[in-house]
Amino acid sequence: MRFCFAPRNGSKQADMTTQTDLSRSAALYERALKVLPGGVSRNAILRASHPTYVECGRGCRVTDLEGVTRIDFSNNMASLIHGHACPEIIHAVTEQMTRGTAFMMGTEIEVRYAEHLCSRNRSFEKMRFMNSGTEAIMVALKAARAFTGRPKIAKAEGAYHGVYDYAEVSQGSTPATWGGIDHPRSVPLVHGTPESALKDVVVFPFNDTERTLAILDEHAKDLACVLIDLMPHRVGLCPADVEFVTALRKWSARHGVLLVFDEVITFRAEHSGLQARYGVTPDMTALGKIIGGGFPIGAVAGRAEVMDVLNPQSPRYVFPHSGTFTANPISMTAGMAAMLKFDRPAVARLNALTDRARNGIEGAIRATGAPASVTGAGSMFLVHMKQTPPRNYRDAYPTPDESRRLKALLDHLYNEGCSIISTGACTFSTPMTEAEIDTLVGAFKSGFAKLASMG
């Protein structure tokens, strides 16, 4: 049995790997290529030569098969709010596993966890659990169609909402395909996407109130919902303007269209989600990631009247829904332990640490003269290779030179012992302290200086 002891100084140990052959990882990848398309089950883990394979994780650090330890600022794409192997979650899940992992019956923890999540946000009158953020979006969109009897959805250009045909439209738009800003095209992400799906998705420019309302007006009678992430990652982690979100709420209410918030990623920003900063109440909210405590989960919460389309005892019942592992007691137990630990003081502390990092990186940008900027909110931010912070997808879309410089920066950070998301985004976890933050800021500063010397 191999044991993981994660040292405090991740960057020093990470530097050592540049002098060694990553033979175990390379060999494992050769095996993976024979049984997995591309050698992986998700493309996000691919690196230049081969993925890095994990030996174990503890707190905010991850150790790979070569024994190299790095500080983890990706946290499995923002899903681990308490980092790796959180003791409270391990204890709760271990205890539950002795009683069973899944049943064709209900469990008390499902009810208690729903009560807890609903207590965190007044707009969560009722909720239904599922198994991923993608599934939560699917259920929210289907519930909106079932409630309104209308076929179309509207979403922001470039926004990622999982892999449902309708939700992923325009996610991968490029300058060659995205069309005019007054009428962004519905661009498929996957070859073979049905034309009918594209026709039922209305795309609008993020943070552009005037153009968005004009586009929505053209489809008002056919729209079931407006789907919006208040700080969409693929759009550049740019927070939505209050005026923009307020206008969407007023427009949707006036036209009988549901307003759906995707808080799969952003629920970590405040105790009741990023929506707390906007004073806007959606009809439904999709959740996932941190509410699973490190296990697969999704949820849809919202107005009781809307959620009752899922209720077999309701006269409004028009949406049959079930799932083999939906509300399984392991995800419920882990999620409950995680969210009880992520209370108001924990949220405030983590956001303050993130502010420290963001301010430090902005200071490093000024000190080095790097053409870079930072966007984000709560316990997440994204570093752009652009001098002016973007406000929408087209602003955030990287040029070839910006992509080249970002890759060089990511490689530098990795060698300095800091692992971040490949877009330039960082998500923080509660085991982190000022020491980890200052290590990250220092790595960014030396990375910016290195880029300047490269030209």
Cα–Cα distance between 439 and 307 in angstroms, integer? 46
Q: Which of 72, 113, 155, 160 is catalytic?
A: 160
DSSP class of residue 59 equals: B
Cα–Cα distance between 259 and 225 in angstroms, integer? 6
- Is there a contact between 294 and 334 (Cβ–Cβ < 8 Å)? yes
160: annotated active-site residue: yes
- Is there a contact between 199 and 235 (Cβ–Cβ < 8 Å)? no
Cα–Cα distance between 440 and 131 in angstroms, integer? 33
| Rounded alpha-carbon distances, angstroms, from residue 323 to 100, 113, 298 | 17, 18, 12
289: annotated active-site residue: yes
DSSP class of residue 36 equals: S
Helix (H, G, I), strand (E, B) or coil at 406: helix
Specify the residue for token string 């049995």.
Answer: 1
How remote is the C-alpha of 69 from its chain's centroid?
24
Helix axes 10-17, 434-454, angle to 10 degrees: 40
Strand pairing of 54-58 and 61-64?
antiparallel
Cα–Cα distance between 389 and 180 in angstroms, integer? 22
Contacts made by residues 187-196, CB under 8 angstroms, sequence distance 24+: 190/165, 193/165, 193/169, 194/165
CB atoms near residue 1 (< 10 Å): 2
Cα–Cα distance between 51 and 29 in angstroms, integer? 7
Residue among 224, 113, 108 nearest 166 (CA): 224
* Residue 223 β-bridge partners: 152
Please give the angle made by the CA atoms of 50, 372 and 245, to the nearest 5 degrees.
95
| Rounded alpha-carbon distances, angstroms, from residue 81 to 40, 89, 101, 360, 386 | 25, 11, 23, 22, 29
Q: Which of 262, 278, 386, 445 is catalytic?
A: 262
Helix (H, G, I), strand (E, B) or coil at 114: helix
Give phi and psi for 298, each to the nearest 5.
-155, 165
142: annotated active-site residue: no
Active site residues: 160, 262, 289
